[in-house]
Each structure stands twice: as structure tokens, then as C-alpha cells.
Structure 1
Amino acid sequence: MNWQVVICCFLLGVTPVLCTLDFNYHNNKAVENYLKDINNNYSSITYLHSIGSSVAGNQLWVLVIGLYPSQHMIGIPEMKYVANMHGNEVVGRELMLHLIEYLVTSYKTDVVISQLINNTRIHIMPSMNPDGFEASAVDCYGIVGRLNKNGYDLNRNFPDAFNLNPDPIQPETKAVMDWIKSETFVLSANFHGGAVVASYPYDNGNAENNGITPDEDVFKYLATLYATKHANMYQGIQCPGMNSFPAGITNGYQWYPVRGGMQDYNYVYGQCYEITIELSCCKYPDESTLSQFWSDNKVSLIEYIKQIHMGIKGRVFDLEGNPIPNAIVEVKDRKHIQPYTTNSIGEYYHLLTPGSYTFNISAAGVSLLQTVDITNNKNLYATKYDFSINVSASSANSLLQVYTLLSILSTILVLLCT
């Protein structure tokens, strides 16, 4: 870093690393220091925490950006970006750092970014596999560093809805599973390398569904949006040894089945709509290309975050106005493998394209059918609709007790099985 930059940083009163994030690869310690500097200098809109540690003891850092970064607020949806799941697929790791820099430095100077941060809680994990990154090196098509330190592919390590996964859950996987359980995530993307395409669920499937989810229209919309806003993904780039992807998108299962993938786990068990972004034909390209990758993906990364405000959100209440936890909120004819339910404070979120939908709400043996019209997400606001169901306060309290008990039992089971 030159003296002009140091002087500039001194005059602005910020740590020098914040004045310029170089387009080069940052090792695990450099990533940690950078995130800590960001958190220290933008403490009003950031919250830095570790969700766990890798096999080798490296922390799995997550930086949260939002108006209320340290806690969930009613009506503020949660989204996340996860990169470097395969340790030798590294472009996403650096894009996450540049995205963080762009978001925090644009706050209060860019109207759209400010509105996005004020109305969204954005979680960014630059590296899910820091051990793998340490073992890898510049190499386009190799596999060294892909796995975690125990030799497991983390994107084959999650519980699978279609096939039993016999592999032991790895520390990095368990940390992400616990993280998903602890938050009300609505939208997500994870970043890989080795192709240039936006891939959407299912990653696994069966002959009955052929990998097609009940929310096929939503997933195709999300993948198409990312590919279209990208500099060239939408052109269907053909990488060596593989076919091109029309419009730059693909259904994961129809590309090739993946058992134990993270995006399916998010969708089936986390009520979170996640897609996988393959960023580059070369998994670990020379760092001279990083600036171009940022330029190619910058608009897509921002526009994708905005999509968390599509669809509908709200709460479910009993007759006395008390929120009902664990109430089923499903769209008719969109039955999920695990029914989507309200969180502990009675909130629900559904990503849906504009249209008229009939919702089936049920709690304590009582059901309600209600049709709601959903409009475009202009100005970053999803359609808000609260449901009131004919359930007494005592029934709602019983549901809360059951919900709490199930949460405790689930935690005990996880501890016993790990």
C-alpha cells in the first residue's frame, strides 16, 4: 500500500485496509483481519461472528450487514451468501470481500444500497472451507483442496431428502446446519467454480419429480435474474469438457444428481430458497483476473439480494391477536416435502412471482383457506399479509410449548449424534 493511500485513510479516520481492497487472494488470517476491520469501522451496520470452526480449528466467519445487524427484527427478511465451500474454488471467496466493501462504503451515499441495508439482514460467509483453501493453489481443473481436512466433500455432506447420506456430518456442515436453524433465512446463494451457470434445486430427486420442485417458477426466475444481470453468463458459456447451458441456467438434478447438497438442504429443511452460482471455468484462476470477475458479477450480486423482497410475508395470529409459532403456511398446490411453518414469533415468508395464490393455513387442528394477490416488489417491499385463524389463546400457548419442547429435543438429538 502506497503512502498516498495511508495518508488518505488517516484523514478519513479509517483503518488503511478499508481504503482499498486489493484484487488478490487473501489467506485465512487476512480475511479474518479484514472482516474485523470492517466490523470495527462500520459497527452501526455490521455484526461479525463465527458460526463454528473447521476441522483444523479455523473460524467460520460470517459478517452480517443491516440496520439491526445483531438480531432478527420482525418483518426484516434474512438472506445469506456462502462461498468457498470447495476449498479450491476461490473466486467467490474474493467476491464476497469486495461485496462487503461495496455495501458498507455505499451506505448513506447510495440510495438503493442504503434502502437495501435498512430493509434486509444480509449474512456473508466468505469461506465455508478455510482448511481446503489453505491446501489449494492456483490450478484450473485439479481437486487438491476441494475437500475438508477430513477428506469429505461438504457439498455431499448434508442430510438428503431422497437418499440416505451415510457419511458422518462434518464440523463445517454441522455449523451451517445449526446456523440455518438459528435464523429465519428466506433467500440464499452459494458460490462454486468449474462452470459458468446458475443452478437451481433440486440437486437430487427421483423418477417422480425428475428434480423439479414445487417452486420451479421461482427458482427459474432467480437463476435467470442472476445470469441475465451477469456480464456474460446468460450467453451460455461453454467450459472445456462440458456442454453449454442455454440462457446460463440449469436444473441441478438434470445437470447431474448430487446427494447431500447444501442448496436442497436449505430448501427442504430450512425453508430457504437457495441456488448455486458457478462463477468460472477455472476453479483457481490467476489473481490478475479477479478484477474482471468482480466487474462481471457486481450487478448480479446486488440484484439477487433485492429478490428477497419478492412474494409475501406476514404473521399468523390467534383470535386474541397472539402470534402462533409453527403454524403451517403453504400455498395450495405447492406442497413442500417439509411443510413451511411460522417461526417462533409467528412470522412466515414465501418467495413468489406476481399472481393470485390460495394459502392453506393450519394450526391446532384448525385450517383456513385464503386467497391473496401478490404484486411486484417495488421499492423493496414484499406484499404484507397477516392471517388470523380461529384458534384460542390457550391452544396457541400449547402450540408454543410444543414448539419449544421440539426445539429442545432436536438440540439434544443433535448433541447425542455428534
Structure 2
Amino acid sequence: MPFGWQYLGRWSFITALVVVCGALVVFPAETRAKTVPARIIEFRHHSNEEIPRILASIHERCPNITRIYTLSESSVRGIPLYAIEFSTTPGYHQLYHPEFKYIANMHGNEVLGRELLLHLANYLCEQFLARDPEIQQLIELTRVHLLPSMNPDGWKVSTETGGKDYLIGRNNNNSVDLNRNFPDLNRIMFSNEEAHVSHNNHLLEQVDRLKEPIQPETKAVIRLIMQVPFVLSANLHGGDLVANYPYDASRSGARTEYTKSPDDQTFRHLALAYSTHHKNMANPRRHGCGHDGYNFGKQGGITNGAAWYSVQGGMQDFNYLSSNDFEITLELGCDKYPEASALQDEWDNNKDALIHFMWQAHIGVKGHVRDAVTGQPLPHTVIHVKNITAGHDDDIQHDVTSVHGGDFWRLLTPGQYIISAYRDGYHAMSHRVNVYDRPHHEAQRVDFHLRPLQPTMQSPNGNSITDTEYDETDDEMMRNHIVNNLRKKWLFRAYNRAISTN
């Protein structure tokens, strides 16, 4: 189906509100107007005006595997947020093909990631054309989204003031730090844990207050997350050299406190996948950054976010708690705004890690959930995992859900697991699965065919329920089951007021 609306089924009215207010906008025509020469992207800092030209040049060389689009909202100053997609079916989600994203330049004065994503886009195109087997396979198995700049306004301010200040240009043009501007889902998750509430995923529907209005750049990314069933992502920052993983916010409210997520083992693997393929990040003998000069290389080049310092309203944890997406934060170097002369070395330092991390979207398992009688796909099915490796008996208290076509992905490290599928109106089903380490291969398949509790369902008037009616009825049952007795009308008004103040 066409990209966009097919993923809305399970989410609540708040999620729907966020998405209905604006969809992604495809950007085909304007990008063809001016292009840079083929195969040439200089190692220098590129302006906001040059980004769409560079992406257009890449699309013109690789039209069959790329699509350029803009997010639903522009920046405060009206600059579009441009993204490029790599896929063998651009614009469409393919069954069993995980969705991946990199977002850079969230803090406007942290600019290395912006340039790395431009060069990464160029590299993927060139290597695909050169028939590099690894890149061809990666693009054939994965749908990749690259957003070079989430904060073009901040970049402009930082650049115009010399790019030397540690803070100038960090925020957007409303002086808001975008990495503190996402709904605080950690608060909801930690409250659920304390109350022994089992709801542990897709928590946006439980938002009851916002500490500040959501900025247009943040809105745009939230809508992207809600529209695309991302499996894995990373956001690219600067100021240190470390791969940071959830949780970013501490449970107790302490400034520093190791705060495990239910997927701590998998997140450590993901962070190490980047740090150990970077040329310097995991080096215990390199120089550290900052006043204390601490070298995260001594701990493998990775850190738990809250153990470093606690962040509320961050994009990393929002992805994990609002969707099926596992996201980490990459701090790419001590210098937030490196000189142009350093960019080629930084590309060499990061290239292998950028590619290897994308492959991590294929660890663990993938599969589909279908009705055992009709064969129809069953979206919104809860996928629960228990770790039974080496005598363990540990439920992983973070579930994912199947998406529109009934397909799902569950990132896991090697081991033995019991994977179960639950959906209202159906008998649950479980598989015992051995997950193996298979670098740069697609995930192993685990499929579920669920038997209905009743052969047919009747509507209140006694008539048979059509497929469309059944979808709506079942979705309402699931929503009521998950959200329980939330005061929906009050919640809607509170969220709508917060959105409208923008």
C-alpha cells in the first residue's frame, strides 16, 4: 500500500491527531532544478540550500532506489526538512523489510552528522550502481531513511556566528532544545512499573500533559515515527565520542543513575555494534572529551544515557516507548563543529560503523501474524518475549506489535527465547526459538497463525461483521483494554491545546 496511513490502526486518538494534522510531503519537482555534478560531494560544510540539490543529484543517479521527501512541518523559519529514502520499492513498505532511519543535526551546532549523512547517501547510491554485493543486499532487504538536518535554523545561527560556541545554535529558532521537547514517556513508563501496569509500549496514547509546546521540527519527527514502522534508528550528535543507549532519563530523578530498559542487553549490543566499528570510539587509549577528559573508550565506547546524565523529553527514549523502534544516540566527536579539513577523516572513521549499524535492523527475528482460518494478516498483535537462555526465565517487559501487513520484527541478541503472539479474539500462540548470530544476513523467520476464539463474530444487530467493521471493532476493544479508564475527552483537550499553542 502507499506510504503513510496504513500504520495508524492500533494507536489512539492522540496518535491519530498527531498524524492527521500533517502527512509527509513528497518532494520531487523542486529538487530537479539545480544539482551538483554527479559523484562529487566535497568535504566541506554544506548550506541549507545545498542539501536538496545534493539529494536531487543522488536521486537522479539512482532513481529506481531513492525517493526524496519533506517532513510534514518545516522549521520555525520555514526551511523544509528534507529526507532521502533508499529502497527497491521507494515510497512503499515491503513485508518483512525493516525500516531504518538516521537523523542528524538535531542540535544545530552539532554538524558532523549532517555531512556524514550526505556522504552516506552518496555512498549508498554509488556502491549500488557499482554492484557492491553488501550494499545491494542491504538496500534490497532494508528501507533506509536519512534526514541530514532536523534543525536547519540552529545550523544557520551557529554557522553565521563562526561555529565555535558550545551553545549558540544548539536550539531551534524558538530557543527550544529539540532533544528535550518530545513528550516525556519515561515518566509514564516508570509510573506503570510502580503501579504494576503491564502496558509497556506505544505509550503516546497515555500522555496527559506537556511541559512546553511541541515545536514544529519535533511534530514533524513524531509524525514520521507514527507513520513508518521503524525497527531501528540512531540520532547523530556531537560533543563527545560515545554510543549512548536507553534509558536516557533516570527512574529516581537522579542526575546520574544507570537506568536499564527491559532491552538493556540488546541496546548494549547495538551501541557496541557502532562503537567497535568506528575507528576510534572504542579505543581505551584515545583522549577523552570535555573538562574532565573522560574517555568512554575505556568502557567500549558506549554508555547508558542516564548513567551519563539524565535527559527528559529526549528523542531516543521517545522512539522506544512510542513505537516499535529501538534508537540509540551517537556522539560523533569532541568538536561539535569540526573544520572542513577534518571531514574526510571523520567520514573514514564512521563509514564502516554507519553501514554495520544499519545491518542491526536484521538481528533477532521477523515474521508475520495471520488468521489461521482466513489467512488474513493480523496487525496490532502483541509480540511478547521471554528469555530462557542458559536457564533464565525472564520476561522482557517491552512488547512490540505487528504492523499493517501483519509483519513484525523483534530485535534480540543470540540466545533461546519463547516468543508469543497475543490478540483479542484469538487464542495466543508461542514458539520456542533459538536466535543465532548471523552478521549481515536477514533475520530468521518466526510466523504465527492464530485461531479465532469464535468462528464468526456478530455485530450488535445480529448481522455478520465485514472485514472493515471487524477491524474497527477489534481495534476499539484493544484500545479500551490497553488504555483502560483514561479520561479521553479531557486528555484530548489537553493535548489539542498544547498543539494549538504552536
Residue 120 (structure 1) aligned to one of 142, 145, 148 = 142
Q: Is residue 240 of structure 2 the alignment partner of residue 195 of structure 1?
A: yes
Q: Give, in angstroms, the shift of residue 37 of structure 1.
A: 2.0
* Alignment match, 1:239: 289
Which string of whole-angstrom CA distances, capped at 9 and with x for unpartnered residues, describes residues 274-295 of structure 1?
Answer: 1100011011121111111001
Q: Equivalents in 2 of 1:404, 1:123: separation in Å?
A: 29
The answer (yes or no) to whether the contact 1:15–1:41 under 8 Å persists in 2 is: no
The answer (yes or no) to whether the contact 1:319–1:393 under 8 Å persists in 2 is: no
Residue 107 (structure 2) aligned to one of 86, 91, 105 = 86
The answer (yes or no) to whether the contact 2:117–2:147 under 8 Å persists in 1 is: yes
* Alignment match, 1:401: 472
Give the 5 Å matches for 1:265-284: 265-284=318-337
Q: Equivalents in 2 of 1:329, 1:78: separation in Å?
A: 18
Residue 347 (structure 1) aligned to one of 389, 407, 418 = 407
With the length of structure 1 as denominator, give the TM-score of the two structures: 0.90
Structure 1: give runs of 5+ residues left out of the alignment: 1-13
Q: Give, in angstroms, the shift of residue 416 of structure 1.
A: 6.4
Q: Equivalents in 1 of 2:248, 2:433: separation in Å?
A: 31
The answer (yes or no) to whether the contact 2:96–2:408 under 8 Å persists in 1 is: no
Change in 2 beyond 3 A, CA 1:157/1:399: farther
Which string of whole-angstrom CA distances, capped at 9 and with x for unpartnered residues, describes residues 132-175 of structure 1?
Answer: 11111344452111001111100001111233640111111011
Q: SS of the counterpart of 1:19?
A: coil
Which string of whole-angstrom CA distances, capped at 9 and with x for unpartnered residues, describes residues 336-366 of structure 1?
Answer: 2xx4211122121111112211123111154
Which string of whole-angstrom CA distances, capped at 9 and with x for unpartnered residues, describes residues 44-82 of structure 1?
Answer: 010000013111111111100111121101111100000
Structure 2: give runs of 5+ residues left out of the alignment: 1-33, 188-208, 387-394, 458-465, 480-487
* Alignment match, 1:159: 183
Which string of whole-angstrom CA distances, capped at 9 and with x for unpartnered residues, describes residues 102-159 of structure 1?
Answer: 0000004211111111111000000000111111134445211100111110000111
Q: SS of the counterpart of 1:316?
A: strand
Q: Equivalents in 2 of 1:100, 1:157: separation in Å?
A: 28
Residue 370 (structure 1) aligned to one of 406, 409, 431 = 431
Give the 5 Å matches for 1:4-403: 16-51=36-71, 52-109=73-130, 110-137=132-159, 138-163=162-187, 165-207=210-252, 210-236=258-284, 237-242=287-292, 243-245=294-296, 246-320=299-373, 321-332=375-386, 333-336=395-398, 339-364=399-424, 366-391=427-452, 394=456, 397=467, 400-402=471-473
Residue type of the partner of 2:105? N
Q: Give, in angstroms, the shift of residue 402 of structure 1.
A: 4.3
The answer (yes or no) to whether the contact 2:36–2:53 under 8 Å persists in 1 is: no
28-37 or 361-370: which moved more? 361-370
66-75 or 34-43: which moved more? 34-43
The answer (yes or no) to whether the contact 1:356–1:373 under 8 Å persists in 2 is: yes
The answer (yes or no) to whether the contact 1:186–1:272 under 8 Å persists in 2 is: yes
The answer (yes or no) to whether the contact 2:232–2:325 under 8 Å persists in 1 is: yes
Residue type of the partner of 1:328? V
* Alignment match, 2:13: none
The answer (yes or no) to whether the contact 2:242–2:281 under 8 Å persists in 1 is: yes
Which string of whole-angstrom CA distances, capped at 9 and with x for unpartnered residues, describes residues 254-285 of structure 1?
Answer: 10000000010011112111110001101112
The answer (yes or no) to whether the contact 1:325–1:399 under 8 Å persists in 2 is: no
Q: Equivalents in 1 of 2:473, 2:438: separation in Å?
A: 35
Change in 2 beyond 3 A, CA 1:219/1:140: farther
The answer (yes or no) to whether the contact 2:213–2:498 under 8 Å persists in 1 is: no
* Alignment match, 1:4: none
The answer (yes or no) to whether the contact 1:201–1:275 under 8 Å persists in 2 is: yes
Q: How many residues align?
A: 401
Q: SS of the counterpart of 2:179?
A: helix
Q: Equivalents in 1 of 2:97, 2:474: separation in Å?
A: 22
378-387 or 277-286: which moved more? 378-387
The answer (yes or no) to whether the contact 2:258–2:304 under 8 Å persists in 1 is: no
Q: Equivalents in 1 of 2:92, 2:365: separation in Å?
A: 21
Q: SS of the counterpart of 2:276?
A: helix
Q: SS of the counterpart of 2:38?
A: helix
Q: CA RMSD in A?
A: 2.4
Which string of whole-angstrom CA distances, capped at 9 and with x for unpartnered residues, describes residues 166-186 of structure 1?
Answer: 011111101101101101100
Which string of whole-angstrom CA distances, capped at 9 and with x for unpartnered residues, describes residues 273-321 of structure 1?
Answer: 1110001101112111111100100100011111111110111112222
The answer (yes or no) to whether the contact 1:311–1:350 under 8 Å persists in 2 is: yes
Q: Give, in angstroms, the shift of residue 16 of structure 1.
A: 4.7
Q: Give, in angstroms, the shift of residue 233 of structure 1.
A: 0.5
Change in 2 beyond 3 A, CA 1:214/1:53: same
Residue type of the partner of 2:172? N
Change in 2 beyond 3 A, CA 1:142/1:393: farther
Change in 2 beyond 3 A, CA 1:144/1:113: same
Change in 2 beyond 3 A, CA 1:293/1:219: same
Q: Equivalents in 2 of 1:403, 1:43: separation in Å?
A: 40
Change in 2 beyond 3 A, CA 1:151/1:399: farther
Q: Equivalents in 2 of 1:344, 1:215: separation in Å?
A: 24
Q: Equivalents in 2 of 1:260, 1:16: separation in Å?
A: 38
Q: Equivalents in 1 of 2:36, 2:56: separation in Å?
A: 13
Q: Give, in angstroms, the shift of residue 96 of structure 1.
A: 0.3
* Alignment match, 2:20: none
Q: Equivalents in 2 of 1:327, 1:22: separation in Å?
A: 47
* Alignment match, 1:5: none
With the length of structure 2 as denominator, give the TM-score of the two structures: 0.76
Q: Equivalents in 2 of 1:172, 1:147: separation in Å?
A: 11
Q: Equivalents in 1 of 2:77, 2:295: separation in Å?
A: 38
Q: Give, in angstroms, the shift of residue 20 of structure 1.
A: 1.1
